[in-house]
Amino acid sequence: MPLLVMKFGGTSVADLDRIKNVALKVQREVERGYDVIVIVSAMSGKTNELVGWVEATSPLFDAREYDAVVSSGENITAGLLSLRLQEMGVPARSWQGWQVPINTTAQHSSARFLDIPRTNIDHKFAEGMKVAVVAGFQGVSPEGRITTLGRGGSDTTAVAFAAAFEAERCDIYTDVDGIYTTDPRITSKARKLEKIAFEEMLELASLGAKVLQTRSVELAMRYKVRLRVLSSFEDTDENSGTLVCDEDEIMESKVINGVAYSREEAKITLVTVEDKPGISAAIFAPLADAGVNVDMIVQNISEKNYEDHPGSVTDMTFSCPVNQVARARKAMEEAKAAGHIAYDELIVDSEVAKVSVVGIGMRSHAGVAARMFKALADENINIKVISTSEIKISVLIDRKYMELAVQALHDAFKLEAA
């Protein structure tokens, strides 16, 4: 039997009517002759609610219990969708992570797959089950405890199943009808892309475009999983949505294909750290240990001859998500107290956002940075930090100008036109 993986996000299963609609889409594929593995998210808002309960109970929570609580939303939708399919006469069965089992590392709240043995599900398919409804986002650690894969993790579950079961396609059904040049809520000029290269999607996903979880794109790229993003609220066929694929498949590409943003960023500066070998390691190791996702890093030029600092000193600036500032501050204060690092002041700016332009065409075109900075300058937007990679340029700016920056860049790179 050919096999299809279909993934439905939170808004697609937000209530019982929508679950019914999902069941109809699944039934259609079964009627076309597929065995189907459906990966479901929690009903929209559910995971946020569960996370809120955890944080309200224990601000520096134990990650094992966090996982125990926040993984539960998916169990509900898996069971309900399975019931709905059964009501329609489609042989379906729900699967929680430990039942498959979806074996992951013990890195709670951001676990990684170890393996997904096919035996149990294949056995049920052989017995006549047509649809396996798998709870996304969760797995089981070597110690047998429930794990979760990080927010948005059911996309990654879907791709991992598509790879493990050698699915013909992995269709990611969501509340948008594809991948856009930028967020259509920020500019109505945003345009849907027919295809996008894995690498570009990877940058856009990791830069805060919320459509696909970054790791799902990494996995798809590694295992060459044909990934399609499409709407669960429209009638769709094999050509709907956006195909995320190898760059060889894309004939014509613009220099820039997308503008991404990440709203909840913070900038932290350690003022007058010593400028000597080992200092960066001494700063960033404790941050990593504390689970702070450091993104941009800037080290100032060195300055000598401060009265109270005999050697040369510098300032170190880095960015991280706003909700990790407390952890970062604690890690730095502890490292300072332990004598591992020294600094005069720790300055936090929690009112920043990151805006980035992405395109594989940047590899072969000069002048992209200049064009980007000019567009921001024309809007009088001050750039606080800049970082670049082979196919992207990111800037940190005041959060209140984020929308304006996205619009200006979308215009400057003429992304509206195909």
Closest CB to ligand ASP among residues 161, 318: 161
Instruction: Tell me which of Mg ion, ligand ASP, none is bound by residue 136, counting a contact when its beta carbon lies within the kind-specific cut-off of 5 to 8 angstroms.
Output: ligand ASP
Look at residue 225 and give its three-state secondary structure: coil
Closest CB to ligand ASP among residues 108, 392: 108
Q: Which stretch binds ligand ASP (CB under 6 A): 60-68, 90-98, 153-161, 320-328?
A: 153-161
* Chain residue whose CB lies nearest Mg ion: 152
37 burial (CB, 10 Å; 0-12 / 13-18 / 19+) is buried
DSSP annotation of 414 reads T
Q: Which of residues 68-87 bind ligand ASP (CB under 6 A)?
A: 73
Under the criterion CB under 6 A, does residue 151 sit at the interface with ligand ASP?
yes
What CA–CA distance (Å, rounded) separates 239 from 4? Answer: 15
Is 112 known to sit in a ligand binding site?
A: no
What CA–CA distance (Å, rounded) separates 395 from 368? Answer: 13
Closest CB to ligand ASP among residues 8, 34: 8
Give the residue, chosen from 9, 73, 258, 359, that forms a contact with Mg ion under the rule CB under 5 A: 9
Q: Report the 10 Å Cβ neighbour count for 88.
A: 14
Could you tell me how far CA 361 lies from the centroid of its own chain?
23
Under the criterion CB under 6 A, does residue 47 sit at the interface with ligand ASP?
yes
Torsion angle (degrees, nearest 10) of CA 248, 249, 252, 255 = -60
Instruction: Tell me the closest approach of the beta carbon of residue 136 to ligand ASP, in angstroms.
Output: 6
Q: Which sign does the torsion angle of CA 65, 71, 76, 79 carry?
A: negative
Closest CB to ligand ASP among residues 157, 394: 157
Give the residue, chosen from 3, 6, 8, 10, that forms a contact with ligand ASP under the rule CB under 6 A: 10
Is 8 known to sit in a ligand binding site?
A: yes
Helix (H) or strand (E) holding 223: helix 214-223
What CA–CA distance (Å, rounded) separates 92 from 70? Answer: 24
Closest CB to ligand ASP among residues 112, 329: 112
Instruction: Tell me the closest approach of the beta carbon of residue 73 to ligand ASP, in angstroms.
Output: 6
Give the residue, chosen from 73, 152, 241, 359, that forms a contact with Mg ion under the rule CB under 5 A: 152
Is 7 known to sit in a ligand binding site?
A: yes
Under the criterion CB under 6 A, does residue 136 sit at the interface with ligand ASP?
yes
What CA–CA distance (Å, rounded) separates 117 from 120? Answer: 8
Is 139 known to sit in a ligand binding site?
A: no
Q: Report the 10 Å Cβ neighbour count for 74.
A: 30
Instruction: Tell me which of ligand ASP, Mg ion, none is bound by residue 97, counting a contact when its beta carbon lies within the kind-specific cut-off of 5 to 8 angstroms.
Output: none
Size of the chain, expressed as the number of residues it contains: 418
Is 208 known to sit in a ligand binding site?
A: no
Mind giving me the DSSP string for 121-181?
HHHHHHTT--EEEEETTEEE-TTS-EEE--TTHHHHHHHHHHHHTT-SEEEEEESSSS-BS
Closest CB to ligand ASP among residues 46, 84: 46
Q: Which of residues 115-134 bind ligand ASP (CB under 6 A)?
A: none
Q: Which residues are annotated as a binding site for substrate?
A: 47, 74
Which residues contact Mg ion by CB under 5 A?
9, 152
Which residues contact ligand ASP by CB under 6 A?
9-10, 41-42, 47, 73, 136-137, 151-155
